[in-house]
Amino acid sequence: MRKIFLFLMLFSVSGLAAAAPLPDNVYFRAMKDEMTRSLDKLHVKNGPKPYYIAYQLQNEHHYCQGASFGQLSASSDDPSHQLSARVVLAAGSPKNDSMGFTSDEFRYAPSALGSVAQSYWGIRRALWSITDNSYLNASEMYEKKQAYKRQKNLTDELPDFVPAQQASFVEEIPPFPDVPREQMQEWVQKFSARGKDIPYLESFSVNLCLSQDDWYYLNSDGGFYQYATLSSSAIVMAQVRNKDGYKIWLQRQVSLPKDSTQREPMVQTLVDRTLQEAAQFYQATKAEPYIGPVLMMPEAAADFINRLLVANVRNVKPLLSDEDKTAGAFRNKAGMRVMSPVADVLDKPLLREYRGVPLWGFKPVDDEGVLAQDLTVVSGGKLHELPLSRRPAQKGQTSNGHAHMSDYTLPRESLSNVFVEPKTPLSQAEMEAKLLARCRELELDYCYILKEFPVSASWANSTINIAERIYTKDGRREPVFGLKVSELSTRSLRDILAAGDDAELFDMTDAEYRPYTLVVPSLVVDELELLPSDKKADRKPFVPKP
C-alpha cells in the first residue's frame, strides 16, 4: 500500500521552517540546498532582494502505441522519461513585489528548463540556471511595475502576497508500471483495422497511451508536496469525406480506468462511437439557420461549460497590464445569478478517482503551498465561491488552495476537478421529450441535438459537424453538418432548462495549459443561434484510396 502523509504547518518567513521533515531524496536535497543558497546570495546593487522562491520538478514517463488501418505506426519500444524544472521567484516584499505584472516584453510564466539530468548536481545546476534567469526577470519587472503604478497613479493598498498556513502532502512515488506492449499493439491494430474497408474514411488511427507524472515541490515558506499522477487514454482520429465532398477531422478521446479488465471494452466503445459519427457525417446534409432550443450531449456540454463557466471563474486576480482580458469575467460576480438553478457546480481538488478513472485535477496542495479546499462554485444558480490564491483581489481575501502554475503561467487561480451536478437528473428519453416539448411550444418544425461543440478562440471558426435535426411532428431525425454558433454569451448558462443523468468525464487543459477534469451530463439549452458555415466542398482525390 502506498504510504501517504498530509501535514499542516504554520506560516513562517524564516524560510524552510516546516513541522514535518522533507522527503530524503535527491530531488528535495537539491531543491533545498539551491534554494537556501539563492535566498542568501542573490542580490544586485540597488535592486530588490528575493524574498520568496518555489521550485517544482516534474518527472514525466510516457509510452504510446498507435496504428492506422491495422498497421502499426512508428513508435519506441521503451517508455520515454524526462525531468523538467520550474522556478517561481518574487523580489521586493510581500507588500509590493515583482509579480502580478506583465508587459509586451514579458511573458507571465515561470522560468523553466525542459530536460534536467537525473542527479543531485544535474538538478542543482538546472535550478541555479533558471533561478538566475528568474531573478533577472524579477528585478526588471519590479522596476517596470513601479513605473507602471506611478504612470497610472495606482494607490492600491492591498498587499501583493499574503500569509497562508503552509501544508505538505507526501506519498511514496511508485515506479512507472510495466508496459503491456504486445497487448497494446494487438488492440491498436485490431481496432484501427475496422476503418480499412470504409471508403469515406481517408485516415483512421487508434492510439493508446500510458503516462505518469511524478511531482516534487518546495517553497521557501515551508510548503511542499511529493506525489504521482497516473493516466491512461485512448485516442481515435478519423479523416472523413462525406457524400457531397466535404471533409472533416474527427478526434475522440477517453480516459481509461485503472482496472485493466475494463479498458478494452471502453476502447471498443470509443471506436464504435467514432465510426458511427463518421457514418453520420457521410450522410449529413448542410445545416440551415436556426434559433431555438438545443440538446447538447455530454461532449458538447463539456465544451459549453468549459468555455462559458470555467474560463470565466479562473484567474480571479487581474494582472497589472494594458491588456483587457487578464482575469475571468465572473471575478466580481459572487452572489449574482450566473447560471440556471437546475444544476450546481462543485470543485473537488482532493478527489483522486471517479468511477475508477484517475482525475487530472487531483491537487492536494497548491503551487503556493496551501492545502486545497473543495469549493461550491455555483449553488442555486448563484456564483458562490471562487478559486483564490495568496494574491488577494479584494481586502481580507485569503487563499483557498487553488493557485496553479504551468510552463505558461506563474501561480494563478484555477479549478481542479469540476462537477456539474443536476438537482433533478433526467434520462435520455426525458431530455429528448423536454427538448421536443419546448420546440413545439415555440412552434418550430425541428430542433437540434449537438454531439460536439468545438471551442476556438473565435466562435466564427468553430464548426459543429456532428449534429442531428429532430422533427417535432414525428421525432424523425436526420444528420446535419456545418453549424456555427452566433453571438454566444454567458447568458446561455442561465438558459439551461434541464440536465441529464449521463455524466461523462473529460480531461481538459485551460488557456494556460493547466490540467483539470470536467464531469458533465447532457444539457438542454433554451436558445442558441446557429448559422450554416461558409466552408466549401473539398477537391476529391484524383485516384481513390488504395
Residue ranges covered by each domain of the chain = 4-181+211-230, 285-532
Contact between 215 and 225 (Cβ < 8 Å): yes
CA neighbor of 507 nearest in space, from 274, 209, 271, 295: 209
**Residues 493-531: tens digit of each pLDDT:** 999 999 999 999 999 999 899 999 999 999 999 999 999
Give pLDDT, residue 363: 97
Average pLDDT over residues 38-53: 92
SS (H, E, C) 365-406: ECCCCCECCCEEEEECCEECCCCCCCCCCCCCCCCCCCEEEE
Give pLDDT, residue 530: 93
Cell digits of residue 110:
515561470
Largest Cα–Cα distance of the chain, in whole Å? 80
Give pLDDT, residue 17: 41
Measure the CA–CA gap between 125 and 31, rounded to whole angstroms: 10
Percent of the chain with pLDDT over 90: 83
Look up cell 512507472; give the residue: 176
Give pLDDT, residue 106: 66
- What confidence category does residue 540 fall into, taking pLDDT thresholds of 50, 70 and 90? confident
Within 193-235, where are the H helices? none
The β-bridge partners of 529 are 291, 486
**Residues 391-442: tens digit of each pLDDT:** 999 998 999 999 999 999 999 999 999 999 999 999 999 999 999 999 999 9
The class that CATH gives domain 4-181+211-230 is: alpha beta
User: Average pLDDT, whole number, for the chain?
Assistant: 92
Give pLDDT, residue 15: 41
Contact between 467 and 461 (Cβ < 8 Å): no
Buried b (16+ CB within 10 A) or exposed e, 386-423: bbbbbbbbeeebebbbbbbbbebbbbbbbbbbbbbebe
Give pLDDT, residue 13: 34
Distant-in-sequence, close-in-space partners of 409: CB < 8 Å, separation ≥ 6: 108, 109, 110, 512, 514
Look up cell 496504428; give the residue: 67
Q: Count CB neighbours of 528 within 10 A.
A: 22
Confidence check: pLDDT of 49 > 80: yes
Q: Cα-atom radius of gyration of the chain, to the nearest Å?
A: 25
Q: Which of 174-178, 376-380, 540-544 has the lowest mean pLDDT?
A: 540-544
Confidence check: pLDDT of 328 > 70: yes
Give pLDDT, residue 4: 55
**Residues 466-495: tens digit of each pLDDT:** 999 999 999 999 999 999 998 889 999 999
Measure the CA–CA gap between 538 and 244, rounded to whole angstroms: 9
